[in-house]
Chain A
């Protein structure tokens, strides 16, 4: 069964450093998302991406965040200058175009720890 994959599974970084989290969505999906979950809290939407542009972003997704689909398979989330409060699990999700299921399928996540 196709699945969303994410790398790395864990990332430890120093405050102020840049990190790039990588995702490979399910191959025939066209909508891509990033969510995060701070330990003990609910899953929060960050950004959605369709047709090579951002369709919606939350207030969490400030100028320190960016997303990119550099080729036909990868979808990346970059945090330019990490803060302590960026420590969280980051989940990538994808969903197919209309006509198929409308559900979003989540990757296994990247646990980011900012020291």
Chain B
């Protein structure tokens, strides 16, 4: 059974600080790793994807992947109130395969 584990939170971070979200996955064959943001009642919105070990930066967001530890993280710099949402970690095995989602971490940015 492929699993993606996340702390459900809520994670409260002051505005302007760095928010750090973490995720572990069970299947070593996982190839692609995604972070989606989901506002309440809305659909998942892709923030970043990463395939290789190391860091990938896009604006205020940095995704980090460590395949040896089966660990993915997302850093959000200069957190804004609009970043308050549930962040979903997701993995898949190959490009046309289903995405397996974690339950998500609720992030609350304190003004």
Contacts and interface: CB of A to CB of B under 8 A. Distances in A.
Contacts of B96: 31, 48, 50, 55, 95
Nearest to A93: B99
B46 A103 contact: yes
Nearest to A4: B43
A45 B103 contact: no
A111 B95 CA distance: 27
B103 A106 contact: no
Given A45-B99, A48-B96, A103 B34 contact: yes
Contact of B95 (A56, A102, A107, A108): A102
B103 A108 contact: no
A45 B95 CA distance: 15
Contact of B98 (A56, A101, A102, A111): A56
Interface residues of B, number: 22
A91 interface: yes
Contacts of A93: 99
A42 B46 contact: no
Interface string A92-108: 01010010011111111
Contacts of B95: 95, 98, 102
A17 to B, nearest CB: 24
Nearest to A92: B43
A2 to B, nearest CB: 13
A51 to B, nearest CB: 10
A33 interface: yes
Contacts of A105: 46
22 contacts: A33-B98, A35-B99, A42-B101, A43-B99, A43-B101, A44-B101, A48-B97, A50-B96, A58-B98, A89-B43, A91-B43, A101-B49, A102-B32, A103-B32, A103-B46, A103-B49, A104-B46, A105-B46, A106-B45, A106-B46, A108-B42, A109-B43
Given A43-B44, A43-B101, A104-B46, 18 more contacts: A31-B96, A33-B98, A33-B99, A43-B90, A44-B101, A48-B96, A48-B97, A50-B96, A89-B43, A91-B43, A95-B95, A101-B49, A102-B32, A103-B46, A103-B49, A104-B99, A107-B43, A111-B41
